[in-house]
Structure 1
Amino acid sequence: MTSGFPRGLNVRAAPFVIMVLLVTFLTVTSGPAYSTEKDGQGAVNGETTHTAVTAGILAPHTPINIASDVDFADQGWPGNGTEAAPYVIEGLNITSTEVCINISSVTVRFEIRDCFISSPDTSLNDGIYIDGGDYCSISGCIVQSHLSGFHLNDSLKCKLTGNNARGNSESGFYLYYSGFPTLTNNTATGNSGSGFYLDFCTALCTLAGNNATGNSGNGFYLNHCGSSMLTNNTATGNAIDGFVLYIHGGNVLSDNTANGNAVNGFYLEKWLYGDSTLTDNTATGNSEYGVLLGPNSSGDVIFLNVIGPNGVANARDRGSANKWDDDVSLGNYWSDYNGTGVYPIPGTAGSVDRFPSSIEPSINHPTDMEYEEGSTGHSINWTPSCLHPDRYEVYRNDSLIASSDWDGSDITVSVDGFTAGTYSYTIMVLDVNGYFATDAVIVTVQASTTTGFDPMILLVVAGVGAVIVVIILAIGLRKRKV
């Protein structure tokens, strides 16, 4: 057995081959030293969807402590701290029970991107802690197994985008005295506190496209946060409420979903700063109430929401002067509305939704029809109504003849071309939540009353005619002989 260079390889060429292999290796490994995974959230308001890193090929790093502006340059972080070229901390894997990225008392601009933060044991410290870091940006990071995943204190106008906080012993995202924040497409899963906890953030908080699932506290908890916008966020399977606004006012909640939370879907308590508005939200499958207004809530406006079914009741109003419709013609969609009159809201406030609608789809009933066999131009036109249409099915005498996605528009089915008989056409329209409505139309095809031409008649007529001609000719011949 021999060793050395492969057979056929010139020994003199070995240095060249080694150099080529070395260059190839450096080329392959000179790319970004981290891998990414999709964060599962869709882009909101035209923003590019960020990705959250995995622990993959990130560069290992010890905990980072920055206590002044000069520390960024002294530690060698790229950038110069301006808006055009912020300092950047990027692509790191930091595993420690300490605060893994700790930045305080700075005035320069900085960004933290695509970092994986974890702890080998239960940590009593936050994963990423920012104190006095105005205009900071954190994107594409994962923080797990710490106290709070992301903790911002006294930091104004910060942006958190596409991050993931999971399995932390308190809140996933905790912002304290940090006004005007923007949180977009972040995920908080399985944290022991709330998914998102904004405390005394004063005003103009923007939360869009975030997801809070399976947290042991609330999905979203906003305390003393007025004039805020919550859009397209989802709270599912949290151990308390989906969304809580406490000492609130002037907030707008639209297109949010609270589903399967252990207490309430939306809980609003104590008016401040102005009226809040809930519109186009969905609250289903929560164990107590879909929407609960506490005893100090006043002046809130709730309409065009899909509410129900929920456990105890779909809603409860213990406040005063709250409105459950738009004061003109639009109320909410209720799973238990019987289709008649107003919808009374349980609770001491005595509120009513004056313009309620049913969640379930509805459909008209075209009149049964008859037509004569052989005629054409006959069809059934249904005009269903549905808040969130999904699909429809059409049956003829219990056999499925059409099935398609449905966008809420009219549905027309041709019934031409059948022989005499009776046919039952049944339609079922379904919404995205599985609610459905059906209708049946009877089509009777009558036998034709128009007598068709029988070829045998022509043969008989021709035969008779031929006999007559023969007889006439015979008589003529006889007369000639006479």
Structure 2
Amino acid sequence: FEIQDCYFSAPSTTGTAAVEFWYVTNGKVSNCISDASRGGEGFLIAGSSNNVFINNTVVDNAKGFDIIQSSHSNTLIENTVTSSGGGYSLSGSDNSKLIGNIAADNPGSGFRLTECFNTTVVNNTSTGNTLFGFSLRDCTNNTISNNTCASNGYSGFSMSHSSNHNTLTENSAISNSANGFFIYGESSYNTFTSNIIAFNSDEGIDLSSSTSSNNTFFLNVFYDNGGANARDDGANNTWDDGASSGNYWDDYGGDGSYVISGGAGSQDRYPFEIVRPTIDTPDDLSYTEGTTGHSITWNPVATFPSSYRVLKNDTIVDSGVWNGSEIVIEVDGLPPGLHKYKLIVEDGFGNTANDIVFVSVVADSEGGPSIPREMVTLGVGIGAAAVVILLSYALYTKGR
């Protein structure tokens, strides 16, 4: 069955959810809105499995999504929860998927997983929440990747109470009021790779629990965090891949290993430098008006490419996401004159580079429509034949 395109509202004293699933399987809810000062959840899913929730909006509820009591294999895609008691709470939910959801400005945590196994949390955004952006408590074997966590009231990502064997990769923890990542309470054997951890008020990663051990960190970027970029008071945590790849530290001196703060005495043996944006310099271009096949190709480079803009005579004519590939701009059809094209690229930290190419368009000297070569050849042939006829006639007349 499917519920779609519904609007739910009720007095705040009811204490009930807008949508309740009790022991339901194979249901679907899409494009619905729960918008009221309610005492209950927007969506309560209990003992229910294999359900799908797509593009729903929850505003000003006690909770957004509350998934409890062994509700397994549910999928949440592109839902939004704002100004509610919490965003998305999963408890005892295994094999579920959270993809492309938003939790913003909630007076709780954006995403909270408790006793979850094999859950996938991908491409979600958690911003402006009062507590954690993402919280894992007693969670095992989950994948947390490509999520954005910014400007939350406490840490961006929290792992506690024996959260083990999880993989966190390509996430961004930026401008949170405490740590980027807070790891404590016997949380061990987790892997953190290719995360961006920047502008957080305290430590980038705070691993201050002596009982959290055997975690691995490499290819992460630590940039301008308020406390130490990382603190390790645990045991046997590894800050590189053991072979050649460590992390980027903005306060690295450039010589030898990077020493991690804390009592563990940990080191990153292979710290790396990031490449700030650079652009090659293509030659200026000139072509005759009316001709085609003209373009500018730039090959910018950066460790963390983000976006680009192209300006023609100081007006933006193209922009978008830059993934590190070449940028090509077609310049056919310009009027005669000199045209300035400027490319600006930016990386994930706001560093920029730019290059300018001038395109000169020369007016067509013929000043009119061109004549096909076949017509010219035919005209010449006809003209020559006419001359021969006239000469023959003149000689004939003279002979008479």
Q: Please, what TM-score do these two structures have when normalized by structure 2?
A: 0.69
Per the alignment, residue 117 of structure 1 pairs with 34
Q: 1:388 aligned to 280, 301, 304, which one?
A: 304
Equivalent residue for 2:119?
A: 205
Match of 2:294 in 1: none
Aligned to 1:156: 72
Alpha-carbon shift at residue 259 of structure 1 (Å): 0.3
Superposition map of 1:254-269 within 5 A: 254-269=169-184
User: Aligned partners of 2:348, 2:237: CA distance in 1, in Å?
Assistant: 30
Matches within 5 A, 1:430-445: 431-435=347-351
SS of aligned partner of 1:225: coil
Residue equivalent to 2:230: 315
- Residue 133 in structure 1 maps to residue 48 in structure 2: yes
- Residue type at the aligned position of 1:144: V
**Any conservation in 2 of the 1:360–1:436 contact (CA below 8 Å)?**
no
CA contact (8 A) 2:174 2:199 kept: yes
Does residue 241 of structure 1 match 2:158?
no
- State the alpha-carbon separation in 1 of the partners of residues 20 and 300 from structure 2: 58
Paired residue secondary structure (2:63): coil
Mapping 1:205-354, distance limit 5 Å? 205-246=119-160, 247-271=162-186, 275-295=189-209, 296-354=211-269
Match of residue 57 from structure 1 = none
Once the two structures are TM-superposed, the CA of residue 275 in structure 1 deviates from its matched residue by 1.0
Residue 219 of structure 1 contacts residue 238 of structure 1 at CA under 8 Å; is this kept in 2? yes
- Say which SS state the counterpart of residue 115 (structure 2) adopts: strand
What is the Cα-based RMSD across aligned positions, in Å? 2.7
- Code of the residue aligned with 2:26 in structure 1: it is R
Instruction: Tell me if structure 2 keeps the 8 A contact 1:334–1:359.
Output: no
CA shift, 1:384, in A, is 10
CA gap 1:103/1:436 in 2 versus in 1, 3 angstroms: closer
Distance 1:430 1:125, change over 3 A: closer
Q: Which ranges of structure 1 fall in alignment gaps of 5 or more residues?
A: 1-86, 364-382, 393-403, 410-427, 438-482
Q: SS at the partner of 2:185? A: strand
Cα contact 1:102–1:128 (8 A) shared by 2: yes
Separation in structure 1 between the aligned mates of residue 307 and residue 2 of structure 2, nearest angstrom: 49
Q: Give the equivalent residue in structure 1 for 2:358.
A: none
Question: How far, CA to CA, are the matches of 1:269 and 1:293 in structure 2?
Answer: 6
Residues 313 and 359 (structure 1), Cα distance of their counterparts in 2 relative to 1, 3 Å cut: farther
| Counterpart pick for 1:189 among 71, 92, 104 | 104
The residue correspondences of 1:74-113 to structure 2 (distance < 5 A) are 87-96=1-10, 97=12, 98=14, 99-113=16-30
Q: State the structure with more CA Rg.
A: 1
User: Quick check: 2:300–2:324 contact (8 Å CA) kept in 1?
Assistant: no
The alpha-carbon deviation at position 250 of structure 1 amounts to 0.8
TM-aligned CA deviation for residue 204 of structure 1: 0.5
* Count of equivalent residues: 299
Q: Which runs of 5+ in 2 are unaligned?
A: 279-298, 309-318, 327-343, 354-400
Specify the SS of the correspondent of 2:204: strand
Question: CA 1:254–1:149 in 2, change beyond 3 Å: closer, same or farther?
Answer: same
Q: Residue deviations 1:85-132, cap 9 Å, x none? A: xx111110011134343434424321111100011x3x3211111111
CA 1:391 to 1:281, structure 2 compared with 1: closer, same or farther past 3 Å? closer
CA distance in 2, matches of 1:391, 1:159: 31
